[in-house]
Homo-oligomer: A and B are copies of this chain.
Amino acid sequence: MSKSSWKEECGVFGIWGHPEASRMAYLGIYALQHRGQESCGITTLHRGSHFFHKGLGRVADVFTEYELDALKGTAAIGHNRYSTEGGNHLPNAQPLFAEIPSGPISMAHNGNIVNAPELRNELIQEGSIFQGTNDSECILHLLAKQRSRDIVENLKVSLKRLVGAYSLTILTDNKLVGVRDPMGFRPLALGKLDKAYVLASETCAFDLIGAKYIRDIEPGEIVWIDDSGVHSDKALGSTKTAQCIFEYVYFSRPDSYVFGKSVYGVRKRLGQTLALEHPTEADIVVPVPDSGLPAALGYSQQSQIPFEYGIIRNHYVGRTFIEPKSSIRNFGVKVKLNPQSAVLKDKRVIVIDDSLVRGTTSKKIIGLIRQAGAKEVHLRIAAPPTVGPCYYGVDTPTRSELIASSNSIAQIEKFVEADSLRYLSIEGLKKAAEDTGGYCRACFDNEYPTPLFNKQKG
Could you say which of B90, B264, B317, B326 contacts A343, with CB atoms under 8 Å apart? B264
Minimum CB–CB distance for A109 against chain B, Å: 15
Q: Is A436 an interface residue (CB 8 A)?
A: no
Residue of B nearest to A55 (CB): B90
Residue of B nearest to A34 (CB): B316
Residue of B nearest to A210 (CB): B328
**A318 & B58 in contact (Cβ 8 Å cutoff):** yes
Cα A24 to Cα B326 in complex, Å, equals: 10
Instruction: Kindly name the residue among A127, A294, A316 whose own CB sees the greatest number of chain B CB atoms within 10 A.
Output: A127
Cα A93 to Cα B294 in complex, Å, equals: 41
Minimum CB–CB distance for A10 against chain B, Å: 15
Could you say which of B65, B141, B254, B265 contacts A322, with CB atoms under 8 Å apart? B65
Cα A186 to Cα B39 in complex, Å, equals: 37
**A130 & B338 in contact (Cβ 8 Å cutoff):** no
Could you say which of B96, B293, B320, B335 contacts A309, with CB atoms under 8 Å apart? B293
Residues of B within 8 A of A30 (CB): 316, 321, 335
Q: Is A152 an interface residue (CB 8 A)?
A: no
Cα A365 to Cα B308 in complex, Å, equals: 25
Q: Is A124 an interface residue (CB 8 A)?
A: yes
Q: Is A6 an interface residue (CB 8 A)?
A: no
Cα A23 to Cα B254 in complex, Å, equals: 37
Cα A34 to Cα B316 in complex, Å, equals: 7
Residues of B within 8 A of A321 (CB): 30, 60
Give the contact-size bracket for chain A: 35 or more
**B264 & A322 in contact (Cβ 8 Å cutoff):** no
Q: Known interface pairs A127-B144, A309-B293, A326-B19. Does A208 touch B338 (Cβ–Cβ under 8 Å)?
A: yes
Cα A65 to Cα B324 in complex, Å, equals: 10
**B129 & A140 in contact (Cβ 8 Å cutoff):** yes
Residues of B within 8 A of A318 (CB): 58, 60-61
Q: Known interface pairs A60-B321, A90-B90, A264-B309. Does A207 touch B140 (Cβ–Cβ under 8 Å)?
A: no
CB-CB contacts below 8 Å: A314-359 with B: 314-322, 324-326, 328-329, 334-335, 338, 340, 342-343
Minimum CB–CB distance for A295 against chain B, Å: 11
**B96 & A124 in contact (Cβ 8 Å cutoff):** no
Cα A265 to Cα B340 in complex, Å, equals: 11
Residues of B within 8 A of A53 (CB): 89
**A128 & B130 in contact (Cβ 8 Å cutoff):** no
User: In the complex this chain forms, how many copies of it are found?
Assistant: 4
**B131 & A144 in contact (Cβ 8 Å cutoff):** no
Q: Is A20 an interface residue (CB 8 A)?
A: yes
Q: Is A99 an interface residue (CB 8 A)?
A: yes
Q: Is A162 an interface residue (CB 8 A)?
A: no
Cα A273 to Cα B308 in complex, Å, equals: 17
**A324 & B124 in contact (Cβ 8 Å cutoff):** no
Minimum CB–CB distance for A297 against chain B, Å: 7
Residues of B within 8 A of A326 (CB): 19-20
**A325 & B63 in contact (Cβ 8 Å cutoff):** no
Residues of B within 8 A of A322 (CB): 23, 26, 63-65, 68
Residue of B nearest to A319 (CB): B60
Cα A381 to Cα B257 in complex, Å, equals: 30
Cα A245 to Cα B64 in complex, Å, equals: 41
Q: Is A429 an interface residue (CB 8 A)?
A: no
Residues of B within 8 A of A124 (CB): 99-101, 144
**B324 & A309 in contact (Cβ 8 Å cutoff):** no
Q: Is A97 an interface residue (CB 8 A)?
A: yes
Residues of B within 8 A of A319 (CB): 60
Q: Known interface pairs A98-B130, A129-B128. Does A255 touch B312 (Cβ–Cβ under 8 Å)?
A: yes
Residues of B within 8 A of A265 (CB): 342-343
Minimum CB–CB distance for A90 against chain B, Å: 6
Residues of B within 8 A of A34 (CB): 316
Q: Is A439 an interface residue (CB 8 A)?
A: no
Residue of B nearest to A264 (CB): B342
Cα A207 to Cα B372 in complex, Å, equals: 10
State the A residues within 8 Å of B (CB).
19-20, 23-24, 26-27, 30-31, 33-34, 37, 53-54, 58, 60-61, 63-65, 68, 89-91, 96-101, 120, 124-131, 140-141, 144-145, 204, 207-210, 253-255, 257, 262, 264-265, 290, 293-294, 297, 301, 306-309, 312, 314-322, 324-326, 328-329, 334-335, 338, 340, 342-343
Given contact pairs A129-B144, A264-B312, A290-B315, enumerate 8 new A-B contacts (beta carbons under 8 Å).
A23-B324, A27-B324, A60-B320, A99-B129, A208-B334, A208-B338, A255-B340, A264-B343
